[in-house]
């Protein structure tokens, strides 16, 4: 199986951010049909859970199809040994086979989540808490690199610091010779309450130039259009731009020329209908609760007369069939 080369991506490349209970295989396929990014990420998956009896319940977070390519598997956890074992399963293709993918179809890389600010994961000493435990973070990275064994690129997604911006943290990460480093332009303490600091992201890129020239630097935070992302990448010398919440404003965001604002009522409803139908076909065994679809309803059922009333009806539905019936009647 050949090594996927991040360097072959266009400059700047655009990435759909990993978002829990959002960027599953269904939503990634919806976005692929609208306007595909250059790179996808899975939701973040716990390696300690994967290497336990709870593994079957977590595999849904890693499900994908040949359409969602190239796709980075994002992992998190606490035990370096489990990072190494999981990385080997991903890089060898055995995990993709377990998911039912044909030979030759695999993930394109492995990313370590060291940025999630959620209270429970931080309390557990994982994700953004690792900013305060660089020794463990390095052990996790090195274990993952050992498991990947050069077969897939290894990257990290993180923040500028924990309580304040710190240059020791990105320095430590860059010294690990990662294939890619994604920086969310806020500290953990800032959550999403202040604007992303792209100048600081640019300073990490400057550090990269001296410490690890081959590491690609991706910026993340508050990007709401392709043009904005391109401008930020150019201004700060970045290799890529990651888009998270911006995709909720425009599912065609990755297009050179988005048609989103010009879509009529029927077209918006049709797009949500397609999403619901794909959701129902994919999660036939109720692996995902129906209310998962509520957050997506806000994307499509918007910007037309009567949208608020229709949205309220849809968000009270208790099944995919009920959702489809409401849209059919609309």
Report, as residue numbers or ranges, the catalytic residues.
Answer: 116
DSSP state of 213: T
Q: Specify the pairing of strand 154-159 against strand 180-184.
A: parallel
Instruction: Please report, for residues 48, 50, 53, 145, 215, the alpha-carbon distance to residue 81 in angstroms, rounded to integers and kept in the order given.
Output: 9, 12, 16, 12, 24
Instruction: Please report, for residues 101, 317, 330, the alpha-carbon distance to residue 83 in angstroms, rounded to integers and kept in the order given.
Output: 22, 40, 48
d(CA 118, CA 40): 22
Tell me the HSE value of 127 on the side-chain side, using a 13 A CA sphere: 18
d(CA 147, CA 88): 4
Residue with tokens 């060291």: 114
DSSP state of 161: B
Query: From the CA atom positions of the chain, what is the Rg in Å?
Result: 20
DSSP state of 11: S
For residue 211, is the peptide bond before it cis, meaning its omega torsion is within 30 degrees of 0? no
């Amino acid at each position: 199986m050949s090594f996927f080369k991040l360097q072959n991506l266009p400059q700047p490349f655009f990435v759909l951010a990993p978002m829990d209970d959002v960027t599953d295989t269904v939503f990634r396929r919806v976005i692929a049909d609208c306007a595909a990014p250059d790179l996808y990420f899975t939701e973040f998956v716990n390696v300690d859970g994967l290497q336990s009896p709870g593994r079957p319940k977590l595999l849904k977070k890693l499900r994908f199809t040949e359409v969602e390519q190239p796709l980075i598997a994002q992992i998190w956890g606490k035990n370096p040994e489990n990072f190494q074992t999981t990385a080997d399963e991903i890089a060898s293709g055995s995990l993709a086979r377990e998911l039912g993918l044909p030979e030759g179809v695999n993930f394109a890389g492995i990313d370590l989540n060291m940025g999630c600010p959620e209270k429970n994961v931080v309390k557990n000493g994982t994700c953004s808490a690792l900013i305060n435990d660089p020794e463990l973070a390095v052990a996790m990275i090195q274990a993952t690199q050992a498991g990947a064994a050069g077969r897939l690129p290894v990257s990290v997604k993180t923040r500028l610091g924990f309580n304040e911006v710190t240059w020791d943290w990105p320095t430590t990460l860059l010294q690990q010779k990662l294939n890619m480093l994604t920086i969310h332009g806020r500290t953990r303490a800032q959550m999403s309450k202040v604007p992303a600091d792209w100048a600081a992201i640019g300073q990490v890129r400057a550090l990269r130039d001296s410490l690890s020239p081959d590491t690609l630097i991706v910026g993340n935070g508050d990007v709401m259009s392709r043009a904005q992302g391109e401008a930020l990448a150019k201004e700060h010398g970045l290799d890529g731009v990651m888009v998270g919440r911006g995709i909720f404003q425009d599912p065609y965001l990755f297009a050179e020329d988005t048609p989103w604002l010009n879509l009529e009522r029927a077209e918006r409803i049709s797009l949500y209908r397609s999403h619901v139908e794909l959701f129902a076909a994919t999660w036939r065994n109720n692996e995902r609760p129906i209310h998962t679809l509520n957050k997506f309803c806000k994307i499509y059922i918007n910007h037309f007369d009567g949208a608020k009333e229709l949205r309220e009806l849809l968000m009270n539905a208790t099944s995919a069939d009920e959702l489809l019936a409401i849209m059919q009647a609309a």
